[in-house]
Amino acid sequence: MSSAYNPAILELGNVSFSYTQGSHVIKDLSFSVSSGAFIGLLGANGSGKSTILKLSSGILKPASGTVTLWAKNMYSFKHKDRAKLICYLPQTLDITVPFRIQELVSMGLYPYDVPPAMAVDEALELVGLRDKAQAYLVDLSGGERRRVFIAMTLVQGAGLLLLDEPLANLDIKFQFELISLLKHLQEERNISVVMALHDINMALKFEKIMLIKNGSILGFGSPEEVLTESEIRNAFDITVTIRQHPEGKAYVYYE
Amino acid sequence: MPKIKIALLIALLFSVCILALFLGPRGINPLDLSDIDRTIVFSIRLPRVLISLLMGMALGASGAVLQGILRNPLADPYILGISSGASLFAAFGIIMGFSFIGTFTIPALAFTGAILTGVIVGIIGRKKGGIWPERLLLAGVGLSFLFSALLMLMLSLSSDEGLRRSVLWIFGDLSLSEWSRIPYGSVFILAGLLLAMTRAKALNALILGDELAHSLGFSPHTERLVLFVSVGLMTAASVSLGGMIGFIGLLVPHIIRFFMGADSKVLIPAAALGGGVLLCVADLISRSVLPPMELPAGIVTAIIGSPYFLYLLRRKNVLSI
């Protein structure tokens, strides 16, 4: 296929993981992420989305299986070298210490001895927060806070962003803004994004969806392929109808 | 901007030190020194000023580091039980009348107690190959209670004189300051301070949480261990130099954050300087207000520091708590 031209930048092979002995949260999971991908990780609460992202970022180590980053064992990287390639943003960013936005975004430079091309100001401009560089994080809205950390990852210069529920607690306007910002970054800068989410209608906007249940992949492909009524019922234990908007787009109708 | 503020703090520190040398129960004119004046300044006041400076620096910087690695604004260098261990050992030495190595005995015992406690807390705080903030904090608090109870037991069984001297030591007694303590005190405190300053970026990352710290290219557990060692060295040396001095480790970092921000690269040295300034001033007041009696410096730091802190809390938009 096109894999010769678009190699996998992240690959999980037969990964299993458990927090406590005995019960596997993730069972024999395999998938790969190619350069420029835009993947939504969809599943019910407790399905293992966060765990998959933490395994993919090297925060958690699998009990068995392999995690490779740019065809190299994830754990053979030096911490700083890994940080130049892959970036993980947790779901909760509850930071009460009075850091200024500028200071936080500059922390993206920490893995580097020689700063990369993307300047702090440029990153702030891209996420629309240039005029708030001197503001404190705690004074910003939830949507703006998310964008601060997106700017930090841009400065960090990693080609792969793993985002854990970045849309949680954002109102619908900020959700769309964040998605279009990430799409823009993917298109303009070839940044790959893997994002956990739980809104099925939002998932329809992704190029690829990975549907998760009990730590296993139910389906991985385009939303049309994966998000069928039966698979949604299977994953979320709810009954839905997929309808067609008059303009042609599909949407999910909850019974 | 931060550089100017740091320079101002250094200038303030120097001025306070000079004042502390010449002011006190006996005012001394620096331009007209008698032999007695010279003895007072160089043999009594200078070591005392240097020790208060070192202790204040150690406590201020340790507080700034600990609040970061434990992600807890209420953390101070004494919360980990290090000081309780030091007090227990020191009081034991005082009550038993130990003096194997002369006047150095009690500080050496206190330092041993502090380091031992730090190691025990570190071992209990370890799990799955890493040091976990909550475990560390709870291990410290638990051990602190145990040591305090043992200390109370020991004090209640001791003679009046042993009790009085132990209590004075525990509350922070700078009147015993002498030159012999300065070399070892400064080595441990400056080593701890430099270690913490070289890890300032890692501390900033840890404040954001372990997952973000990992994502930014740090190993959270290793960095926390290194910073814990720096705090252990500074706190142990500080307690062994002059007992427990409250307020500085807890509130000086917060006061510095009001004025200079939260970036650890600035906060650690600034909290050290701020702690030094405050303890020098407090010690000057403690030996000047009711001569020839001396108030414990820890009481003075709390009496002058707490109202100022509360005033700032009302006036400024406090973001860190």
Using the Cβ of A7 and the Cβ atoms of chain B, whether some distance falls under 8 Å is answered with no
How confident is the model over A189-198, as a mean pLDDT?
90
Best residue in A57, A59, A79, A138 to probe B by mutation, most B CBs within 10 Å?
A79
**A79 vs B204: CB contact, 8 Å cut-off?**
no
**Mean pLDDT, chain B, whole residue set:** 86
- pTM to 2 decimals? 0.89
| Helix boundaries (H) for B103-132 | 105-125
**A111 vs B216: CB contact, 8 Å cut-off?**
yes
Identify the band that residue B321 occupies on the pLDDT scale cut at 50, 70 and 90.
very low
Q: Which residues of B touch A149 (CB under 8 A)?
A: 212
> Has residue A1 got a pLDDT over 70?
no
Mind giving me the DSSP string for A109-156? Answer: GTT-SS--S--HHHHHHHTT-GGGTTSBGGGS-HHHHHHHHHHHHHHH
Q: Which residues of A touch B214 (CB under 8 A)?
A: 57-59, 79, 88
Nearest chain B Cα to A87, which residue?
Answer: B215
Q: Which of A89, A110, A156 is closest, CB to CB, to B201?
A: A110
Using the Cβ of B31 and the Cβ atoms of chain A, whether some distance falls under 8 Å is answered with no
Residue B159 covered by a domain: yes
**A98 vs B321: CB contact, 8 Å cut-off?**
no
Give the tens place of pLDDT for each residue, B18-53. Answer: 998 888 777 777 778 788 888 888 888 899 999 999
Residue B148 covered by a domain: yes
**A100-104, A214-218, B308-312: range with lowest mean pLDDT:** B308-312
pLDDT of residue B99: 77
Give one word for B219, left, alpha or beta, with left for phi > 0 and alpha for psi -120 to 50: beta
> What does the alpha-carbon distance between residue B199 and residue A130 come to, in Å, rounded to a whole number?
29
ipTM for the whole complex: 0.91
Helix (H, G, I), strand (E, B) or coil at B291: coil
Using the Cβ of A113 and the Cβ atoms of chain B, whether some distance falls under 8 Å is answered with no
Residue B271 covered by a domain: yes
The CATH number of the domain where B196 resides is what? 1.10.3470.10
The CATH number of the domain where A12 resides is what? 3.40.50.300
Residues A123-127: contacts with CB under 8 Å, at least 24 apart: A123/A151, A123/A152, A123/A154, A123/A155, A124/A151, A126/A151, A126/A154, A126/A181, A126/A185, A127/A151, A127/A154, A127/A181
Domain count, chain A: 1
A250, amino acid identity:
A
Nearest chain A Cα to B263, which residue?
Answer: A99
Query: If 0-12 CB within 10 Å is exposed, 13-18 middle and 19+ buried, where does residue A232 land?
Result: buried
Domain count, chain B: 1
Residue B320 covered by a domain: no
> Has residue A3 got a pLDDT over 60?
no
Question: By residue range, what is the domain housing residue B145?
Answer: 2-315
The answer to whether A53 touches A41, Cβ cutoff 8 Å, is yes
Q: What is the DSSP letter of A3?
A: G
Question: By residue range, what is the domain housing residue A211?
Answer: 2-254
- Closest by CA position to B228, among listed B141, B321, B117, B84: B117
**What is the CB neighbour count within 10 angstroms for residue A150?**
23
